[in-house]
Amino acid sequence: MVENRPWLTVISHLVLIVGIAIVVLPLWVALVASTHAGRDLLSAPIPMWFGSHGVDNYRQMLTSGMQHVSGQPLTLMLFNSLVMALTIAIGKIAISLTAAFAICYFRFPLRMTCFWIIFITLMLPVEVRILPTYEVIANVFTPLTRLLELFGFEGDEIVIGGLSIRLDFSMLDSYTGLTLPLIASATATFLFRQFFLTVPDELTEAARIDGAGPMKFFRDILLPLSRTNIAALFVILFIYGWNQYLWPLLITTDPSYVTVVMGIQRMVNVADTEPQWNLVMTAAVLAMLPPVLVVIGMQRLFVKGLVETEK
């Protein structure tokens, strides 16, 4: 549509500028605040231009952290977040790819039932099933002991020939506990399934005639073809994992497993004193960096994966 109405141009630009201001202003304030000393931010006009304490703030946060709250340097939190985000992203992609492969390319009993069960879990994100999930992570054997209770066995010990097994295995305060419950993903499984359905049958048949078994077909043909989809999902899932807040807050008490998103929350919730906003903003800016880098680094593949139709 080509139109030439000057006032329309003015209005549309105005709307765009206001929109950008709404999005960018908080970021700008955070960035500026992270370069000031703490007291500069407590008096009335909030500075809108960079101050001189930037280097000090960043050095302090990266090396020692805030002493009166847990005292963990931000590097550790960033590392924890990175482990969590990467494990979730890679784990989700790996599981979804194989699940979608099984559902699309193999005929086994209850195939569609499996698919629909996976699909239904879309309606059950962690926030909904948080209590039962917590219980399972707190003790992996909970489902088993509950089942045994149903049949009249009490207690958490099984004795098999002189060997006593205590049914108690907790994943609280561990990377496994942080990531495992978030790894199963119906969304990604569904996306890969939809993609696999668009791969022409002839390609599968040609590979069969060329002597490629199922796993070889998966590795040599499907995986390279899904490359852009994998990249797009990786970006989305990495950010999903990085931004996890509620779950890590619930299951970690050990300060060495603090992730950066919940770390920031702890920095703000201080007793008896004003939060040190300059340092909080420094942490926020640092916490923003990895997802931004991932998006920028994978932008080209990401867009390709979302729009590409060529097979």
Partner 1 sequence: MAELRISGVEKVYPNGFKAIHGIDLDVPDGEFIVLVGPSGCGKSTLLRMIAGLETVSRGTIQIGDRVVNELEPADRDIAMVFQNYALYPHMSVYQNMSYGLRNRGYPKDAIEERVQKAAGILQLDGLLDRRPRQLSGGQRQRVAMGRAIVREPSAFLFDEPLSNLDAKLRVQMRVEIKQLQRRLGTTSVYVTHDQIEAMTMADRLVVMNAGVAEQVGTPIELYERPSSVFVGGFIGSPSMNFMPAIVEPDGRHLRLSDEARLALPVEGRRVEPGRPVTVGVRPEHLTLSPDADSALAFRIVLIEHLGADTLLYGSASSVEATGEDGGLLTVRWSGHHTPPAGEVIRLAADPAHLHLFDAATGRRI
**Binding positions for partner 1, rule: CB under 8 A:** 200, 202-203, 205-212, 216, 220-221, 224-225, 227, 310-311
**Smallest Cα–Cα separation from 302: which of 236, 240, 239, 238?**
236
User: Whole-number minimum distance, CB 233 to partner 1, in Å?
Assistant: 18
Nearest distance in Å: CB 101, partner 1: 17
Residues recorded for the chain: 311
Residue type, 171: M
C-beta of 191: minimal distance to partner 1 in Å?
19
CB-wise, 163 or 209, nearer to partner 1? Answer: 209
| Cα three-residue angle 59-65-68, rounded to 5 degrees | 140
Query: How far apart are CB 207 and partner 1 at their closest, in Å?
Result: 8
Give DSSP secondary structure letters for 159-203: EETTEEEE-----TTSHHHHHHHHH--HHHHHHHHHHHHHS-HHH
- In the bound complex, what is the minimum distance in angstroms from residue 215's beta carbon to partner 1? 12
Q: Which is nearer to partner 1, 141 or 217 (CB)?
A: 217
- 238 vs 288: CA distance, rounded Å: 12
Residue appearing with tokens 């077909």: 217
Which is nearer to partner 1, 111 or 166 (by Cβ)?
111
* CB distance 229 to 195 below 8 Å: yes
Q: Which is nearer to partner 1, 85 or 207 (CB)?
A: 207
Residue partners of 271: CB distance under 8 A and separation at least 6: none
**Closest to partner 1 by CB, 83 or 221:** 221
Q: How far is the CB of 113 from partner 1 (least distance, A)?
A: 19
Distance, CA of 188 to CA of 201 (rounded, Å): 22
Asked whether the beta carbons of 290 and 77 are under 8 A apart, the reply is no
Nearer to partner 1, 272 or 310 (CB): 310
